[in-house]
Amino acid sequence: MRARDFISKVEDSETRKQGQAYIDGTLAMYAVSKKLTEQALELAHKGDLTHIQKTWVLTQCAKILAKTDREKALETLEEAATEARRIEVSDPSLPQALIAVANALKVVDAPRVWDATFDAVKAANSAEGFTGEDGGMVFKFQSKEQSSVRTNSVPEFDLEGIFRDLGEQDYDRAVELARGFQAEGPRAVATIAIARAILEPKKAVKK
């Protein structure tokens, strides 16, 4: 956390702004990975994070809190959903953020997963460039002397996991939901995930 104090003293405003975003994003991912929920939530509320970064941090904290404080987990997840909806409708980050919310609901409030995934499908149909896979967060920092670009893979943004789980719960309903995608790419990703949910367990039993 001392890095946040250090960067706040940088005189050049652009370097300071980029550095703050880079450090806060990195710290937030670290806090989540170590299950430091208080620190992660503080960064989500006060840090220089994008809407999708805040959504991801809040969803991950909700999953951690679900084990000890379900009420707090639900509050955090509602906050995550609100943050996700601040993203522009045409931005592919919106369906990614809503998928992260749906993934967290699997842990916090499972009956709501279907409706949450339906919201993500609707958002995907308005977001040009959404593929449903290879989700991640990019952290950039550039100054006159140096630059750094780092991409962290975020499977919670992808369709594969959520549709695989839904396919195991109710095959027909999951297929109908996958058909809601207007673009061929995400529809194919969702359909393949459902197929794997049905076929791979049978394959394992046969072996």
Enumerate the domain spans of the chain: 2-206
Residue-wise pLDDT for 48-100, tens only, equals: 999 999 999 999 999 999 999 999 999 999 999 999 999 999 999 999 999 99
CATH of 2-206, one of 1.10.3470, 3.30.70, 1.25.40, 1.10.10: 1.25.40
What angle, 0 to 180 degrees and rounded to 10, lies between the N-to-C axes of helices 171-178 and 159-169? 140
* pLDDT reported for residue 207: 44
* pLDDT reported for residue 17: 83
As beta bridge partners, residue 140 has: 149
* pLDDT reported for residue 78: 97
* pLDDT reported for residue 206: 46
C-alpha distances out from residue 3 to 115, 181, 195, Å: 41, 43, 47
Ranges of residues in the chain whose predicted pLDDT is under 50: 204-207
* pLDDT reported for residue 102: 98
